[in-house]
A = this chain, B = another copy of it.
Amino acid sequence: MNTSEFRRRGKEMVDYVADYMEGIEGRQVYPDVEPGYLRPLIPDSAPQEPDTFEDIINDIEKIIMPGVTHWHSPYFFAYFPTASSYPAMLADMLCGAIGCIGFSWAASPACTELETVMMDWLGKMLELPKAFLTENAGEGGGVIQGSASEATLVALLAARTKAIHRLQAASPELTQAAIMEKLVAYSSDQVVATLGTTTCCSFDNLLEVGPICNKEDMWLHVDAAYAGSAFICPEFRHLLNGVEFADSFNFNPHKWLLVNFDCSAMWVKKRSDLTGAFRLDPTYLKHSHQDSGLITDYRHWQIPLGRRFRSLKMWFVFRMYGVKGLQAYIRKHVQLSHEFESLVLQDPRFEICAEVTLGLVCFRLKGSNKVNEALLQRINSAKKIHLVPCHLRDKFVLRFAICSRTVESAHVQRAWEHIKELAADVLRAERE
């Protein structure tokens, strides 16, 4: 495919994408396919000679779309949101074209420097303590990871390296095995200190756990994968209080801040804690500025060596929405979840199972787990909306998460009417 064909096909793809987004409400949110549906639909090996672009674009509707769960449908209320916005998609096109690998400053200075500044912008939006920022020659700084799991792993390995060095310095006679036996990682049932758990969006109290960690010289990593985006609104910022005690903090703009996956934002108070754990300096990656103290080589901050120019997505989204636009987006979702909550509360057959703080409502029919499992089964079989469950203590609970960028009150109302109808069916079937 030469450049002039790309101009044509690229514009066709832009229209395909726009049509898809515009018409997504009309697609069934959860697919009908059974496991193994796809393999019989395509050849069992790659073609020797090229197929045409028309062949491929036709196969998208024929082969791919029937098996897609439409995460951006306004009837998708499952898991947590995954971000989608047009500015982020435009930025991703540019990112693909530049196609640089940002493992060192020299490998593409703009890729590294924009990331550092965007992480400062975002840190300021959250009112993170200055210690986490890079500007004004601080010791802290931010980095984009691929996922919260990677951020947690990076924090854990950095904490481990730091603890080992401390033990080695204090007791040089200890063997490596003896040191390993002394290492302890404390976690809640969600792994690390969590703001906004996946099950029910509950919050750990950092003001309690933080000072203890600091006193005991323990690394504190705080994960706010979903909830973090809300902290750009002053009325939710108090949920982040205590982050000043943390060594590292992470949340996912790719969930709720309109920056398409993947973009997991991680800050540390001491950059040297990361670079001490992950430093990798083969000759072919050395460059003249690297020991100047002036630059960042992000490969020392993460597990992978390669990295995309992901800060472009942040730059486009932050600028094209503005802070106020992003705040309005968060507030609209929170308002919709409270709207759903009040609908549930008006129906005496149902109960709310956890405080509704942000965009997630945990609810169930008063009664057995069995009846709630039956309700969820009916909901997901009908495929008009899509939900997933959780367990809170021993109760089987339905999660209603406000997800889509385009979800409105009307969708929430329709979803609730649908749930009520199915609930009536379930309760009738139970009585019979």
Q: Which A residues form the contact surface with B (CB < 8 A)?
A: 1, 3-7, 9-11, 13-18, 20-22, 31, 33, 35-39, 42, 44-51, 53, 55-56, 60, 63-72, 79, 82-90, 92-94, 96-101, 105-111, 113-114, 116-117, 120-122, 124-125, 135, 146-150, 153, 177, 180-181, 198-199, 254, 260-262, 282-286, 289, 292, 294-295, 303-306, 308, 312, 315-316, 318-325, 388-391, 396, 399
Q: 9 smallest A-B Cβ distances: which pairs?
A: A67-B110, A10-B14, A147-B304, A38-B113, A35-B294, A17-B97, A50-B322, A6-B86, A51-B319
Q: Which of B17, B101, B135, B388 lies in contact with A93, CB distance below 8 A?
A: B17
Give Cα A199 to B284, complex, Å. 7
> Which residues of chain B have C-beta atoms less than 8 A from A22's C-beta?
3
Candidates B5, B84, B292, B306; contact of A261 at CB < 8 Å: B306
Interface hub of A5, A83, A87 (most chain B Cβ within 10 A)? A87
- Contact indicator A101/B117 (Cβ below 8 Å): no
Q: How far does the Cβ of A162 sit from chain B's closest Cβ, in whole Å?
A: 20
Q: Which residues of B contact A42 (CB under 8 A)?
A: 117
- Contact at A304–B92, with CB atoms within 8 Å? no
For A5, give the chain B residue with the smallest CB separation: B86
Q: A49 vs B323: C-alpha distance in the bound complex, in angstroms?
A: 7
Q: Tell me, in angstroms, the Cα distance from A312 to B31 when the chains sit together.
A: 18
Chain B residues, CB < 8 A from A146: 146, 304
Which residue of B5, B14, B320 contacts A53 across the interface (Cβ within 8 Å)? B320
State whether A3 touches B31 (Cβ < 8 A): no
Given A199-B282, A295-B35, does the pair A46, B322 have CB atoms closer than 8 Å?
yes
Whether B284 pairs with A109 at a CB distance below 8 angstroms is no
Cα separation A26 to B31 with both chains bound (whole Å) = 48
- Minimal beta-carbon separation of A234 from chain B (angstroms): 13
> Are A1 and B97 also in contact (CB < 8 A) when A10-B18, A36-B294, A117-B42 are?
no
Closest chain B residue to A101 by CB distance? B82
Report how far A100 CA is from B73 CA in the complex, Å: 11
On whether the beta carbons of A289 and B35 are closer than 8 Å, the reply is yes
Question: By the criterion CB–CB under 8 Å, are B320 and A56 in contact?
Answer: yes
Q: Can you give 16 contacting A-B residue pairs, CB < 8 Å?
A: A3-B22, A6-B17, A33-B109, A35-B289, A50-B321, A51-B322, A67-B108, A67-B109, A69-B100, A70-B100, A71-B100, A79-B107, A99-B261, A198-B282, A283-B396, A285-B388
Q: Tell me the smallest distance from the CB of A354 to a CB of chain B, in Å.
A: 13
- Chain B residues with Cβ under 8 A from A294's Cβ? 35-36
**What is the CA–CA distance of A391 and B283 in the complex, to the nearest angstrom?**
6
Per the bound structure, the CA–CA distance linking A375 and B383 in Å amounts to 66
Q: Let me know if B304 and A93 touch, CB within 8 A.
A: no
Given A45-B121, A89-B93, A82–B99 Cβ distance below 8 Å? yes
Counting chain B CB atoms within 10 Å of each CB, the highest count among A31, A39, A295 belongs to: A39
Please measure, in the bound complex, the distance between the C-alpha atom of A177 and the C-alpha atom of B183, giving whole angstroms. Answer: 11
Given A1-B86, A93-B14, A388-B284, CB of A109 within 8 Å of CB of B37 = yes
- Asked whether, in the complex, the Cβ of A304 is within 8 Å of the Cβ of B150, the reply is yes
Distance (whole angstroms) from the CB of A60 to the closest CB of chain B: 7
Using A68-B108, A109-B37, A114-B38 as known contacts, say yes or no to A260 and B96 having CB atoms under 8 A apart: yes
Whether B94 pairs with A320 at a CB distance below 8 angstroms is: no
